[in-house]
Amino acid sequence: MACHINFSSSAFTPFLFTNNTNHHPFSEFKFNSPTSNTSSSSSSLSSSSSSSSSRSCTRRWFNSVRRRNSDNSSEILRHWIEAPNQSHASPERFTVASYNILADRNAKQHSDLYLNVPSRYISWDRRKTLISNELFGWDPDILCLQEVDKYVELSDILVKAGYTGTYKRRTGDTADGCAMFWKADKFRLLEEEGIQFKDFGLCDNVAQLLVFEMCESESRRVIVGNIHVLYNPNRGEVKLGQIRFLLSRAGALSEKWGSAPIVLAGDFNITPQSGIYKFLSSSELNILLYERKELSGQKSCRPAQVLGEKKETVRPFILLDGLLKCWTDEEVKVATGDSERHLAAHSLKLNSSYATLNGSASTRGFSGEPLATSYHSKFLGTVDYLWYSEGIVPTRVLDTVPIDDLVRTGGLPCKRVGSDHLALVSEFSFSVTNNESTEMVAAAAASPRIYIEDWQSGIIREENN
């Protein structure tokens, strides 16, 4: 499955981050105090033009045993990318962030994923401060967090900053869960639904669905979902079952609240090349065209494989008959909802914010999605998304980090990023109908009110148009 990153392609022309004027027309968010020798490092990367020398550079940067220079990750720049045409966007806007913050317990339990990360970057106290500061810098109105195992500590920080929050812990022998926070002066909570997939035979994962109304305009409602899908790459049927269930509950809430638009944020544990991504974006999927264990695309994203250090293993051609045998009736039922039906379908029209708004060639893959939203010693790729339904449009997104800058860190968390994922942030506005659009144009045309002061009498009058 194509998750392969070719360093000789133009998509990976490295940026030199010493001169910010390179980055027009993007507005940008810049982390503090870049002090590194990045310009010389970048030069050595950019000087490699043939694929073989690119590969040797890649090897130099991705080496799990090499100790990193602590300044390697100083230059982590993120740019806001604006939608080019905003004529169908209402003035009411809101921002949503999705961030898998790496649970403290998971960081300790899966230490093999962070062997080349200095222990100070793994410390929860340090990561907590970094994560909070990252979030405050982007100032999202709604936060959708995954892998939260210190909810009270985060809540203490975020409530002081004006947010209200709610938490849904995973079931089973796990300590983390999903948390959502929203600005209390911007949104009123109308309804909340916590989903524990265990109740439906779909493992110990959880999701949240919240219905909001904007304080400034009560007619503007939005349903926001937050999910952390099962990690296990072999259980494609459970992943699809969880996502199908979330979509159907979100659709039901939307109907209940006057066809309110939907945002679905989270760590979906699927890649943009996967069958399940196709299910989300095209609303249906014939599961028999995929092997159950390949439905998420995760297995093609080991860093050495993605960076071209190892040849991809060529799988033998499997006849459809062979594929059919991969799915038991029970697995088909979990995946599609009916053991007799091989077509999984949903009724929402979903698009992904990042795929909608073109990013820089250094951050995006063929699908338009980020090249990577997560990086550690066993994974380099994209699993986090911000999906939206009809009724809203993304007006800007916070682009992810150029892939060679990310690779240069050697793995996350790093000096500037508090988790092994990057946060995704998108601003949305409500789509305006043609009627509303005409009214907005008319209002704008009528709006210039000109006042003239009589210099002799001092009387101010409004000039008639």
Residues that bind ligand KL2 (CB under 6 A): 100, 106, 110, 113, 231, 267, 269, 374, 378, 383
Least separation in angstroms between CB 267 and ligand KL2 = 4
Give CA–CA dist 174/179, Å, rounded. Answer: 15
User: In 3D, which of 174, 250, 187 has the Cα closest to residue 217?
Assistant: 187
User: Bridge partners of 210?
Assistant: 192, 224
- Nearer CB in complex with ligand KL2: 261/275: 275
- Residues in Cβ contact with 334 at an 8 Å cutoff, skipping those fewer than 6 apart: 201, 202, 237, 238, 240, 241
Give CA–CA dist 281/351, Å, rounded. Answer: 6
- Nearer CB in complex with ligand KL2: 45/270: 270
- Nearer CB in complex with ligand KL2: 269/353: 269
Least separation in angstroms between CB 173 and ligand KL2 = 11
CA 398 to chain centre: 10
Least separation in angstroms between CB 374 and ligand KL2 = 6
Least separation in angstroms between CB 424 and ligand KL2 = 13
Asked if residues 358 and 372 have their Cβ atoms less than 8 Å apart, the reply is no
- Nearer CB in complex with ligand KL2: 106/155: 106
Give CA–CA dist 260/251, Å, rounded. Answer: 9
| DSSP category for residue 6 | -
- Nearer CB in complex with ligand KL2: 45/130: 130
| C-alpha to C-alpha distances, 297 to 46, 252, 370, nearest whole angstrom | 30, 29, 15
- Residues in Cβ contact with 144 at an 8 Å cutoff, skipping those fewer than 6 apart: 96, 97, 98, 99, 178, 180, 208, 224, 225, 226, 265, 266
- Nearer CB in complex with ligand KL2: 56/109: 109
User: In 3D, which of 77, 76, 73, 74 has the Cα closest to residue 35?
Assistant: 74
- Nearer CB in complex with ligand KL2: 111/248: 111
Least separation in angstroms between CB 409 and ligand KL2 = 16
- Residues in Cβ contact with 358 at an 8 Å cutoff, skipping those fewer than 6 apart: 81, 364, 368
Q: Which residue is nearest to ligand KL2 (CB)?
A: 231
Least separation in angstroms between CB 204 and ligand KL2 = 9
Beta strands in 152-261 (DSSP E): 163-169, 177-183, 187-196, 206-214, 217-228
Least separation in angstroms between CB 300 and ligand KL2 = 14
- Nearer CB in complex with ligand KL2: 123/232: 232
| DSSP category for residue 364 | B
Q: Under the phi-then-psi rule, with left for phi > 0, alpha for psi from -120 to 50, and beta for the rest, what region is 366?
A: alpha
| C-alpha to C-alpha distances, 264 to 26, 89, 207, 316, nearest whole angstrom | 26, 19, 10, 36
Least separation in angstroms between CB 380 and ligand KL2 = 12
- Nearer CB in complex with ligand KL2: 53/111: 111
Least separation in angstroms between CB 231 and ligand KL2 = 3
Least separation in angstroms between CB 147 and ligand KL2 = 6
Instruction: For residue 413, say if its preceding peptide bond is cis, omega within 30 degrees of 0.
Output: yes
User: In 3D, which of 248, 257, 259, 202 has the Cα closest to residue 225?
Assistant: 248
- Nearer CB in complex with ligand KL2: 106/281: 106
